[in-house]
Structure 1
């Protein structure tokens, strides 16, 4: 065999091996399990339509899924309905979800992503405790289906004091218009939303509650999915990736 033929044969073999490798990779991608991931539009924690990505919690969840070999299929439902849907199904994911007593038995808690502090926000009265807020505010806006709503009920606030509103900037708009006296919400979300709504000074109470935000799964959830994603989230945390994602949205 001539030297030219040997070179050509070697190149042909290398090309065949490369094509085979690409086919294997493509097949592996096509075989990756697609999982439903339910989020809501709650910037900066989760975004539905933002050029930077899906928000702090959303990006962590998607990156963890990709790292673990899963493909995320993003779903958006009203938050109370999303929680009911995920809890009743099988192997559906949801984030960001606060791990509070009323939810404990409804979901499989995969991994803690970040803490969430909550406080009362108002325009003219600043409070220091739940007890003072209970006496001061006649109507308090909270996200519909949010942990905030359940926290206030647990703390003994009257039904007529709690005003559930669609999650997003709706409570901020209602506060600005004087339709509610205060807004009980997560601190980073409120501080992110308010400057986009008004230049008026927003008064914040002492932190009244703190609960970790989780990536969670349906109550009936594959042990493999839970282990894979828990390991992936912790790897992102150890590598500093979660901090870097946080700083993209909250420099």
Structure 2
């Protein structure tokens, strides 16, 4: 009888383990930059605007996220050459168009020039005014500066995050060309000095994207989930939560 009882307990335990495995959500690699308030990989339960939206959409679509945050150029390369890897937020540019599967936009972002002592209102004026401009390495902003004719000597690519802000604060660069919410969020953490901001000179949607080789079923599930988050107001609420308290420009 003891032998039978042990067998029954073993069988029940095995069945429970198998059942748990059957209901476990499949993990998907998600590449994000450490660029608050857009995405954050190391801030506990807070993962930024695009990060939170992506994680909510993945949960709704039946996936779990394995967050990765290598340098942004490498992140793009790993996703581009991989299979079923996600990346967010990524600006949909002409040079990137054929390298990724574009799932859905998660937010729209303005970019502008920020300086401590000089105000500009055009790319031409910035090209003539600033000798050295900090910009996120591998970012759409870096690509845009090159397309606008800025010389290599004027462009100072730096790891995305607070490094460009610190360079500007220390006077090692004349300006920072970057997304408005990210710049204001980071600057608030490091300095009380006022920033001079140009008018927005670049506006583009930020996407959740996937490898070029991406499961069509996963793409459609995530696209539908983001559409639902948009229609029920969740995306606006996430944006408000992260952007409240930032200075109005």
CA distance in 2, matches of 1:154, 1:25: 55
Q: Secondary structure at the match of 1:101?
A: coil
Secondary structure of the 1:43 match is: coil
TM-score, length of structure 1 as denominator length: 0.88
2:20 matched to which residue of 1? 26
1:197-248 deviation digits (Å, cap 9, x = unpaired)? 1111100001110110000000111111110100010011111111111122
Let me know the Cα RMSD of the aligned residues. 1.6
Q: Aligned pair 1:229/2:229, yes or no?
A: no
Output the CA distance in 1 between the equivalents of 2:83 and 2:117: 46
**What's the offset of the Cα at 1:28?**
4.2
Give 1:24 shift.
9.1
1:63 matches 2:51: no
Deviation of 1:26 (Å): 3.4
Report the equivalent of 1:120.
113
Aligned positions of 1:31-110 closer than 5 A: 32-110=25-103
- Look up the match of 1:240: 233
Structure 1, unmatched stretches of 5+, are: 1-21
Q: After TM superposition, list the pairs within 5 Å mapping 1:172-211 onto structure 2.
A: 172-211=165-204
Answer with 1 or 2: which has the greater Rg.
1
Q: Does 1:166 align with 2:156?
A: no
- Equivalent-residue separation in structure 2 for 1:146 and 1:78 (angstroms): 11
Pick closer, same or farther for the CA change 1:25–1:229 going to 2, 3 Å. farther
For structure 2, the 5+ residue unaligned runs are 1-15, 245-249
Q: Offset at 1:76?
A: 1.3
Q: Deviations over 1:98-141 (max 9, x none)?
A: 11111111110000010010000001100010010010001000
Aligned equivalent of 2:143: 150
CA distance in 2, matches of 1:232, 1:28: 22
Task: Give 1:27 deviation, angstroms.
Answer: 4.4
**TM-score (normalised: structure 2):** 0.89
Q: Give the aligned length.
A: 230
